[in-house]
């Protein structure tokens, strides 16, 4: 008798437990769905008012009639800053990954890898603070003048009236380049380590030097994983807000020079959202929609590239 009732009770608890976990899984599904609905709905006034021209329009002016909002400068700066960040971040992070996965002796590997990964634990606003008080003054007094002196002939590094503050597209890109280092480095390290030893041994036994063996073996074997790591870094750079907001100079005009101030999608949202009137707020939400689309695209590509790697048992960041 007692056995039967305890079995019945167990079944009820099993049911209840099943319901709770089901609800939690349903929340995991509902959140992104709700997100798309809420963001689409909140940006609707801007979507119907400006239409597809929103993407190409270069003015962002909430004050003078006719009020126009266009996303072009911010899309451009978002893409430019992330690409320069990749240019800076890729060689350093992949070089470090090769050293830590292939060359470092065992006693050195784990502690150095742990310290390197700590960079990922620094909050982005602290990167911003550091950028604003350390990197920006350096760019103002040393970096920008040097670039203008030697590369000023090219429009990319020309100095304009507004570009003497040290806050610029280039400064923000450098900060982003630093911030994506741990992402790219740790994911490509996993990819390199998933390479079977036979790949290295085969190259070495044919008389390859250490570098040649690394290039022929792990580096080509883990190619798609490393590429995926870089794309993941690109996604992180595009969505980054605070460090960029604090170092890019926050100018809504289209500049031609990298040492001009600029504005990304995320930094404009961060700066203007609090004080925006309804139509501007809808336009800002539409910027969020564009940003979300861009980062989804990049993340899907990264995931496809990394899938072959995760199937081998390694975990992604």
Partner 1 sequence: MRPPKRIRRRAKSLVLLGLCAVAVLLMLVPLASILYECFLNGAGAITPAFFLKNPPPPCNPTAGTTCPVGGVQDAILGTLLLVGLASLIALPVGILGGIYLSEFQDRPLARPARFLADVMTGIPSIVIGVFVFGIFYFFAQEGWITTFSVISGYTGAVALAVIMIPVVARTCEEALRLVPVSLREASLALGIPRHRTILRIVLSSGRGGVITGALLAVARAGGETAPLLLTAGFTTGSIAGLSGWTPALPVLIYQFASAQYPNTTQLAWGAALILVLMMLLISVGARLALRNKFGGRSA
Positions in 48-87 near partner 1 (CB under 8 A): none
Query: What is the footprint of partner 1 within residues 263-302 (CB under 8 A)?
Result: 266, 269-270, 273-274, 284-285, 288, 291-292, 295-296, 298-299
Enter the tokens of residue 168.
């610029």
Q: Name the residue nearer to partner 1 (CB basis): 98 or 158.
A: 98
Q: Does 132 bind partner 1 (CB under 8 A)?
A: yes
Q: Name the residue nearer to partner 1 (CB basis): 182 or 255.
A: 182
Q: Out of 118, 197, 198, 313, point to the residue binding partner 1 (CB under 8 A).
A: 118
* 3-state helix, strand and coil shares in percent for the chain, rounded to the nearest 5: 75, 0, 20
Q: Name the residue nearer to partner 1 (CB basis): 181 or 222.
A: 181
Query: What is the footprint of partner 1 within residues 150-209 (CB under 8 A)?
Result: 178, 181-182, 185, 189, 193, 209
Enter the tokens of residue 212.
């040649």
Residue 169 to residue 81: CA distance in whole angstroms: 6
What SS3 class is residue 98?
A: helix
Q: Does 242 bind partner 1 (CB under 8 A)?
A: yes
| CB-based contact 279:158 (threshold 8 Å) | no
What SS3 class is residue 288?
A: helix
Residue 291 to residue 298: CA distance in whole angstroms: 11
Closest distance to partner 1 from the beta carbon of 256 (Å): 26
Query: What is the footprint of partner 1 within residues 96-115 (CB under 8 A)?
Result: 96, 98-101, 103, 109-110, 112-115
Residue keyed to tokens 């509902």 = 30
Q: Does 14 bind partner 1 (CB under 8 A)?
A: yes
State the number of binding residues for partner 1 (CB under 8 A): 96
- Tally of CA atoms within 13 A in the half-sphere of 306 that contains its CB: 26
Residue 291 to residue 96: CA distance in whole angstroms: 30
Q: Does 246 bind partner 1 (CB under 8 A)?
A: yes
Q: Name the residue nearer to partner 1 (CB basis): 132 or 147.
A: 132
| CB-based contact 312:100 (threshold 8 Å) | no
Run of H or E including 8: helix 2-50
Closest distance to partner 1 from the beta carbon of 127 (Å): 7
Q: Does 304 bind partner 1 (CB under 8 A)?
A: no
Query: What is the footprint of partner 1 within residues 208-237 (CB under 8 A)?
Result: 209-212, 214, 235
């Amino acid at each position: 008798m007692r056995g039967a009732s305890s079995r019945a009770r167990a079944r009820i608890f099993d049911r209840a437990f099943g319901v709770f976990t089901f609800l939690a899984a349903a929340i995991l599904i509902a959140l992104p769905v709700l997100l798309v609905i809420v963001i689409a709905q909140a940006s609707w006034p801007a979507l119907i008012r400006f239409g597809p021209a929103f993407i190409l329009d270069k003015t962002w002016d909430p004050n003078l009639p006719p009020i126009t909002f266009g996303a072009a400068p911010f899309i451009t700066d978002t893409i430019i800053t992330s690409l320069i960040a990749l240019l800076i971040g890729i060689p350093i992070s992949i070089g470090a990954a090769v050293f830590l996965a292939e060359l470092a002796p065992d006693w050195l590997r784990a502690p150095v890898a742990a310290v390197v990964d700590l960079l990922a634990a620094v909050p982005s606003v602290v990167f911003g603070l550091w950028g604003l008080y350390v990197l920006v003054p350096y760019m103002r007094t040393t970096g920008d003048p040097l670039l203008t002196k030697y590369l000023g002939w090219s429009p990319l590094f020309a100095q304009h009236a507004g570009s003497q503050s040290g806050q610029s597209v280039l400064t923000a890109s450098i900060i982003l380049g630093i911030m994506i280092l741990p992402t790219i480095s740790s994911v490509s390290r996993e990819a390199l380590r998933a390479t079977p030893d036979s790949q290295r041994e085969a190259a070495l036994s044919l008389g390859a030097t250490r570098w040649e063996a690394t290039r022929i073996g792990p580096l080509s074997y883990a190619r798609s994983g490393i590429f995926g790591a870089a794309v993941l870094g690109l996604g992180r750079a595009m969505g980054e807000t605070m460090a960029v907001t604090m170092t890019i100079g926050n100018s809504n005009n289209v500049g031609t020079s990298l040492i001009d101030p600029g504005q990304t999608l995320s930094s404009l949202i961060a700066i203007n959202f609090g004080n925006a009137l309804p139509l501007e707020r809808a336009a800002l939400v539409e910027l969020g929609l564009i940003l979300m689309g861009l980062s989804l695209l990049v993340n899907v590509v990264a995931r496809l590239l990394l899938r072959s790697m995760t199937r081998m048992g390694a975990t992604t960041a």
